[in-house]
Amino acid sequence: MIQSTDLPDTGKAYVQTLHDPLFAKKQIGVDVLRLDKIHTIVSGNKWFKLKLYLQDASKQQKKGIITFGGAYSNHLIATAYICSCTGLVAIGIIRGEEPAVYSPTLLDVQSYGMKLQFVSRQQYHDESFIAQLKQSYPDFLLVDEGGRGEAGIKGAEEILHLTAFHHYTHVICAVGTGTMMAGIINSSLPRQQVIGIPVLKLVDGGSKKVSDYINENSSSKNFELHYDFHFGGYAKKSNELIDFMNQFYNQHAIPTDFVYTGKLFYAATKLIKNGFFKPGAKILLIHSGGLQGNRSLPEELLHFSY
Ligand SMILES: *Cc1c(COP(=O)(O)O)cnc(C)c1O
């Protein structure tokens, strides 16, 4: 078992009801599950997705974990921090050339003791490179980017159980790999619809890949993906998105990140506005954390700190 006093505390997650004249007029209830509150450093959903990998590493008596991510990755920061708490060695394979100036995220993961290896984008996605890594580090557990995979999905099945989730007709979450969403679907009731908002622009069969992955890994087909809220692609943004995030914070005192949850809350508001939900719907939105990613933005853009 993993033991440390400074790991995330899922007991700190809570449900916040959103009060908004639009929702009232449409007779729709909207609650937010604040997974961003479980820890100051480890981003909301990443803890759930990592948990069982850590148990696997400990069961298999591995020395540490090798995993993958970009320069602002929530997954890398969560992995690096948790490994430092639990005595595991962390190796981060970073997508792209080594930058002259490290991002705040890279500086943080390094300060938590993660060893960094920068690889070209081509190599990053190359299967023979991954095979070679496995061979070079037999004492390490290899965890896919973002905690993608079976253990990640199993871990995410815990999320809905933090709430009285049978109250809800719909659950909406942001989608990167789809790992969290698959876990949420698996723990939802057959009458509940789970709606995913992909934050990437999924071209060249990408949308099929994500929906296939979710389909193959979830027990219910009662889910839907809405592909129109990526704002140009992964970590892309517009003034409209930033304005929305500021206004959302002013109204509800909920900070969001521009990569995942900003797009999620924007999408949910739009869908409600457009009459997507019938009166009487009760919606649970998953605030999956990730606020540290806002450190890649110019400081003055957001009117809240994170
Ligand atoms: C990683 C991440 C997601 C996406 O999770 P997937 O399981 O990869 O779909 C959503 N929200 C936040 C804040 C994240 O950091």
Q: Average pLDDT per run of 10 along the chain, which is 306 residues long? A: 74 97 98 97 94 95 97 96 95 96 97 97 92 96 95 98 97 98 97 98 92 95 96 97 98 98 98 98 98 95 91
| Residue 236 to residue 9: CA distance in whole angstroms | 31
Atom of ligand 1 nearest to the CA of 49: 7
The first and second tokens of residue 289, run together, are 């954390």
Q: How far is the CA of 34 from the centre of ligand 1 (A)?
A: 14
Whether the CB of 47 sits within 6 Å of ligand 1: no
Whether the CB of 177 sits within 6 Å of ligand 1: yes
CB of 143 closer than 8 Å to CB of 49: no
Per-residue confidence (pLDDT) for residue 42, from 0 to 100: 93
CB of 180 closer than 8 Å to CB of 113: no
Q: How far is the CA of 176 from the centre of ligand 1 (A)?
A: 5
Atom of ligand 1 nearest to the CA of 44: 13
CA angle at 296 for the pair 201 and 34, rounded to the nearest 5°: 75
Kindly provide the residue ranges of all beta strands, DSSP E only, lying in the chain, ordered along the sequence: 15-17, 29-34, 64-69, 89-95, 115-119, 140-143, 170-175, 193-198, 223-225, 282-287
Whether the CB of 255 sits within 6 Å of ligand 1: no
Per-residue confidence (pLDDT) for residue 1, from 0 to 100: 43
Per-residue H/E/C for 63-84: CEEEEEECCCCHHHHHHHHHHH
Whether the CB of 292 sits within 6 Å of ligand 1: no
Residue type for 61, please? Q
Place of tokens 């290899």: 142
The whole-model pTM stands at 0.96
> Three-state DSSP class for 8?
coil
| Residue 20 to residue 13: CA distance in whole angstroms | 22
Q: How far is the CA of 174 from the centre of ligand 1 (A)?
A: 6
Whether the CB of 179 sits within 6 Å of ligand 1: yes
Q: How far is the CA of 25 from the centre of ligand 1 (A)?
A: 31
Give the containing element (helix H, strand E) for 242.
Answer: helix 239-252
Candidate from 180, 264, 266, 292 with most ligand 1 atoms within 8 A of CB, to mutate: 180
Per-residue confidence (pLDDT) for residue 306, from 0 to 100: 77
Candidate from 47, 53, 72, 74 with most ligand 1 atoms within 8 A of CB, to mutate: 74
Query: Closest residue (by CA) to atom 15 of ligand 1?
Result: 290
Among candidate residues 180, 193, 188, the one with its CA nearest the CA of residue 154:
180
Among candidate residues 174, 149, 181, the one with its CA nearest the CA of residue 68:
149
Residue type for 117, please? Q
Per-residue confidence (pLDDT) for residue 204, from 0 to 100: 87
Query: Closest residue (by CA) to atom 4 of ligand 1?
Result: 176
Whether the CB of 260 sits within 6 Å of ligand 1: yes
Whether the CB of 175 sits within 6 Å of ligand 1: yes
Please give the C-alpha separations between residue 63 and each of 60, 86, 91, 141, 252, in angstroms, as whole numbers: 9, 11, 11, 8, 43
| Residue 148 to residue 177: CA distance in whole angstroms | 6
Query: Closest residue (by CA) to atom 2 of ligand 1?
Result: 176
Atom of ligand 1 nearest to the CA of 176: 9
Q: Tell me the residue length of the chain.
A: 306
